[in-house]
A and B are shown apart, each in its own frame.
Chain A
Amino acid sequence: MSETQTEKKDFGQAVLEEIIPPPKEGAPKKNIWKSISIPLLAILTGLLIGAVMIAATSSTVWAAFGVSIWKGFGTAFSEIGTAYQALFTGAIGDPVRIIQALSSGDAKEIRLALNPFLESLVQSTPYIFTGLAVAVGFRSGLFNIGVEGQLFIGAAAATYVGYAITGLPGFIHMPLALFAGALGGAFWAFIPGFLKAKTGGHEVINTIMLNWIAFRLTEWLLSGPMTRPGSGGMPLSPIIQKTAEIPQFFKSPIRFHLGFFIALFVAWLINWLLFKTTWGLNLRTVGTNPRAAKYAGLSTTKSIITAMTISGALAGTAGAVQILAVNRSMALGLSSGYGFDSIALALIGNNTPLGVILASLLFGTLRNGATRMMVVSAIPIDIVDVIQAIILMFVAAPAIIRAIYRLKKPGKEEETIFLSGWGGK
């Protein structure tokens, strides 16, 4: 194209387009390598910088450098090696052990050898739900920062239904508890959705505030009305009924559970909803261009409320699944920031359900591997967190990776130049 139609864009729009790239639905997948090269390079770069950090923060390495430079480097490499080996075996499993188990043919041994991998899937499950929650919001033009709070409310609702109702068969009780969780989250997100649609109150502010209300409310619930008898005022709920449990497939310590497949199904459902139905086109139109939506006769009010409610239901389900499948009772340490990580997750996944699944697997695997890395090597947990954050930062900000490796943004390069004007460099 020789002349590009310069679009009127204000800064906010430009930022939004940067974080929400235009959808490419239906477009032929051009080059798979291109689409995965950036995440791969991001992980690699993150690991490289992480390696430097591991070496730089290790007192053993410093001590070795005191002896001689070569000893210093040697120790540094072995420390880094140990750490990353632990990260890998923690996340995927020990290849040697897996091969031995497979050749021995002992089913129990195979399961145990594969457990790190299965555990990564367990860790990924809540991310899939929360990532979808944020993605549905983004697609509909809403920034749901309240996923964490909705997750807590959903978890509390599922917990209550899980322990307070007795005498139901499992095939009713478990879905009911799950549904209660979705409903709780949906309600908690409906509030800011309603406020945004009817009063224009900004969802970012309202969801942040509702997060705090949700945290304190569950704290009160868990130490008051929903407390476990004999917990001595500790914020801890009773254990849910067996009938409410989402089944785990194997015996302890393997925690791999049905919730993972529920997550995959829900992702498929959301994909169908967003991209195959009139409802989804409604939401996406309102989210992408509210003025055109109004022109086309769509109700922005309805769309905002619907989108928030769906988003909240997904967040609530995340909490419910954690309770019903993994924790089996509710404590305050339920979430390690799933709701907040999921914002990065949705962006990495380009706000598509498939992208969210892939990003969630990356998150879950990293998390899981990091735990082992912490145990095996003497790396402090803070450094583990830092390495994780660096990897995620690079994945989330492809521009940095492109700049480092001088990759071209396909087809965009010539256009971006239009932005520079007078006084530009």
Chain B
Amino acid sequence: MAPILELRGITKQFPGVLANDHIDLTLNKGEILALLGENGAGKSTLMNILYGLYQPDEGEILINGEVVRIDSPTDAINQGIGMVHQHFMLIPVFTVTENVMLGNESVKPGGFLDRPSAAQRIHEISSRYKLEVNPGDYVRDLPVGVQQRVEIIKLLYRNAEILIFDEPTAVLTPQEADELFGIMRSLVEQGKSIIFITHKLREVLAIANRVVIIRRGKVVGETTPEVADKNTLAAMMVGREVNLVVKKKATTPGDVVCSISNLVVADKLQNVVVDDVSLDIRAGEILGVAGVQGNGQTELVEAITGLTKATSGKITLLGQDISKATPRQITELGSAHVPEDRQADGLVLPFPVAENLVLCSYHLAPFSKGVILQYPVILETAEKLIQDFDIRTPGALTPVGSLSGGNQQKVIIARELSRPIQFLVASQPTRGLDVGSIEYIHKRIEQKREEGCAVLLVSPELDEIMELSDRIAVMYRGKVLAVVPNKGVSKEYIGLLMAGVVPEEPLEFSEETEVEATL
């Protein structure tokens, strides 16, 4: 039997880039095919061709053995191809039913919308694939994971046979990701076929039947999770050996650089989101804050960096009380902040790379004299940082918004780490980045630690925390449940704390920890 989908020799040239170079790909019925590659490898281009958004310059697409032409998403849908985008295409003020119907409305005679019959179908689809979505709910009230399931229902409602998931876990919590994997399995069990685009190795190993690796627009390998491991996958993806474990030099923690005592932070609705937190961060150590996202880490970071004012408690940085200080005062004391949401907080996307590189320091010499900006100096510094931090950009005057996510993050890292700092707050520094960039950024953070900088690392990725930290603080519902040294502590132990369970037994030392602490 012919495979459900076959791509032959797909080639797509963009100005200056050969995005897809004679790519061959087959998808069999009932399988999950993972398409693995770094950002910019050409995965999305390929999928957009399949989805009718781009036309290939060469090559053909076969569905069930027959050559088809896909000129638009509508064609793709009619051919049974559906895509779950990374950013959802839902209308928040509409109900699930209305969102699903949109563009494919069932109507009663006279042109009236037939919501009940649509809702009925949604209900059937939902229960058949264990999606657990209530058709009457408003999308704005649904958690992200459920919104994603609404997207899946949209595809199934239109009888999609081939489902493309574009980086589906980027927006999900670990639990939601696990639920999604369950759904994907039940989809293929019932005869659907899935292409799963990702750059997360663990996910590939967990869910895929087959893995195709793409690098620089070419298929560079194919394997199965049974025979591959993270290291081989990473090497194929990046094209060289990748050190997933950062080599840490032993350092002796020095003086306390930042001290937080009895910190309480309330959100806009006066809910206590950081609840009586006390932490000390010492020179030459990385204190990792673990916890499921939304347990007060964001607000903790905002309080330390001066973006929110604490309700009570005290924060001292290098001996000075900064509880009431402004972000600029804190920065000028010698602190750096890699913000959680790089596009919203860390960068001004339409501004050139050069201006973004001096965003926190342009008011100081040598970048300005009086009020006059010294653009020659700014540009010179930018060129140097672009070199030093390996930022891949056409130039210092390119708007930062047109760079890839990894390079945008490097702009922030370059800006923050190039200053003489004694304290670094890094909040999810590798969110959504590919292996190569993660490796690079981890190395840079580790380097700061060796230089004697105190580092507060916040991440919902437990692996990242365990890999980099000297000590780990676990936050749950605004409280720090425990601060443990990252030596011999098991992932399970931290996992329990993250779920709010304080294990009664003392720390169990496990032999596995060193092995576990990989990407």
Chain A contact residues, CB within 8 Å of chain B: 1-8, 17, 22-23, 25-27, 276-281, 284-285, 288-289, 291-298, 411, 414, 417-418, 420-425
Contacts and interface: CB of A to CB of B under 8 A. Distances in A.
Contacts of A1: 14, 17, 40, 402, 404
A283 to B, nearest CB: 12
A116 B138 CA distance: 62
A26 B14 contact: no
B430 interface: no
Nearest to A299: B326
B158 A422 contact: yes
Contacts of A7: 343, 349, 401
B360 A296 contact: yes
In order of increasing CB-CB distance, the 10 nearest A-B pairs are A423-B103, A297-B328, A22-B350, A2-B19, A421-B89, A297-B327, A3-B44, A277-B371, A289-B348, A295-B345
A19 to B, nearest CB: 13
Most chain B beta carbons < 10 A, residue from A5, A280, A289: A5
B68 interface: no
Contacts of A281: 355, 362, 373
Contact of B371 (A27, A278, A284, A289): A278
A289 B89 CA distance: 24
Given A1-B14, A420-B53, A295 B339 contact: yes
B371 A279 contact: yes
B402 to A, nearest CB: 8
A25 B54 CA distance: 31
A8 to B, nearest CB: 6
Given A291-B345, A414-B54, A424 B74 contact: yes
A53 B97 CA distance: 48
B42 A22 contact: no
Contacts of A422: 73, 77, 89, 102-104, 154, 158
Contact of B359 (A3, A292, A424): A292
18 contacts: A1-B404, A2-B17, A2-B40, A2-B42, A2-B44, A3-B43, A5-B39, A5-B405, A7-B349, A23-B351, A26-B352, A277-B371, A277-B373, A292-B346, A292-B359, A295-B307, A420-B73, A421-B73
A105 B343 CA distance: 64
B490 to A, nearest CB: 36
Given A5-B404, A7-B349, A289-B348, A423 B104 contact: yes
B103 A276 contact: no
Nearest to B39: A3
Given A26-B375, A422-B103, 8 more contacts: A2-B44, A7-B401, A27-B397, A276-B372, A280-B373, A292-B359, A295-B339, A295-B346
Contacts of B352: 25-27
B397 A294 contact: no
A424 B350 CA distance: 28
A5 B372 CA distance: 34
A285 B43 contact: no
Contacts of A285: 348, 351, 359
A17 B348 CA distance: 13
B56 to A, nearest CB: 13
Nearest to B12: A2
A296 B372 CA distance: 18
B337 interface: yes
Contacts of A289: 344, 347-349
Nearest to B88: A421
Interface in B13-64: 14-15, 17, 19-20, 39-45, 48, 53-54
B298 interface: no
Given A276-B372, A296-B327, A424 B337 contact: no
B304 to A, nearest CB: 13
Most chain B beta carbons < 10 A, residue from A27, A289, A422: A422
Interface of B: 12, 14-15, 17, 19-20, 39-45, 48, 53-54, 72-74, 77, 85-87, 89, 102-104, 154, 158, 217, 305-307, 326-329, 331, 337, 339, 343-352, 355, 359-360, 362-363, 368, 371-373, 375, 397, 399, 401-405, 408
Contacts of B154: 422
A422 to B, nearest CB: 5
Contact of A2 (B102, B217, B307, B349): B217
Contacts of B405: 5
Contacts of A276: 372-373, 375
Contact of B368 (A17, A22, A278, A424): A278
Contacts of B399: 22
Contacts of A27: 352, 397
Contacts of A22: 349-350, 399, 401
Contact of B87 (A6, A279, A414, A420): A6
Nearest to B43: A3
A6 B197 CA distance: 15
A424 B52 CA distance: 11
Nearest to B369: A278
Contact of B345 (A3, A292, A424): A292
Contact of B331 (A4, A297, A420): A297
Contacts of A4: 44
A260 to B, nearest CB: 28
A291 B343 CA distance: 10
Nearest to A415: B402
A417 B217 CA distance: 21
B93 to A, nearest CB: 12
A22 B337 CA distance: 26
Given A288-B350, A297-B326, A2 B368 contact: no
Contacts of B54: 414, 417
A424 B72 contact: yes
Contacts of B363: 278
A23 B350 contact: yes
A421 B331 CA distance: 43
A277 B378 CA distance: 13
Nearest to A5: B405
A264 to B, nearest CB: 21
Contacts of B12: 2
Contact of A278 (B20, B41, B306, B373): B373
Most chain A beta carbons < 10 A, residue from B43, B337, B359: B359
Contacts of A284: 351
A294 B86 CA distance: 28
Given A3-B43, A423-B103, A414 B14 contact: yes
Most chain A beta carbons < 10 A, residue from B15, B44, B337, B348: B348
Contacts of B360: 296-297
Nearest to B330: A297
A3 B371 contact: no
Contacts of A8: 87, 343-344
Nearest to B403: A5
A26 B74 CA distance: 42
Contacts of B355: 281
A14 to B, nearest CB: 13
Contacts of B375: 26, 276
A424 B75 CA distance: 10
B102 A288 contact: no
A417 B55 CA distance: 12
